[in-house]
Amino acid sequence: MEATVANVLVIAAFGLLISVTGGIAYLTAIDWRDRRRREQEQREVVPGRVRREQEQREKSRDRTRREKKQPEKTQGRRSKKS
């Protein structure tokens, strides 16, 4: 009796292991496929409004990067009062 319970538990553990591994492999493959599709779409030349929106996003991103790089300007000397 003890041997059959142990065998059932071992078989169930291997079944779960295979199921979880298969699920992870499936999700990884789907994510990889979606990432390839998105990168492909970004590489293509997009005409019209969508292209302008992409350019505006890039300009905005560049502007925020430049702002982060510039140190804050501090007032070095006090101005003389007249």
| Digitized pLDDT (tens) for each residue of the chain, 82 residues in all | 678 999 999 999 999 999 999 999 999 999 999 998 888 877 765 556 666 777 788 888 887 777 776 655 555 566 555 5
Domains in the chain, number:
1
Domain-embedded: residue 26: yes
Tokens 């140190």 map to which residue?
Answer: 71
Reading the block at residue 31, the tokens are 């994510």
Q: What burial class does residue 36 get, using C-beta atoms within 10 Å of its C-beta: 0-12 exposed, 13-18 middle, 19+ buried?
A: exposed
Domain-embedded: residue 76: no
**How many helices (H) and strands (E) are present in the chain, helices listed first?**
2, 0
Domain-embedded: residue 81: no
Domain-embedded: residue 8: yes
Domain extent, residue 46, equals: 2-65
Domain-embedded: residue 7: yes
pTM attached to this predicted model: 0.46
Domain-embedded: residue 19: yes
Domain-embedded: residue 80: no
Domain-embedded: residue 43: yes
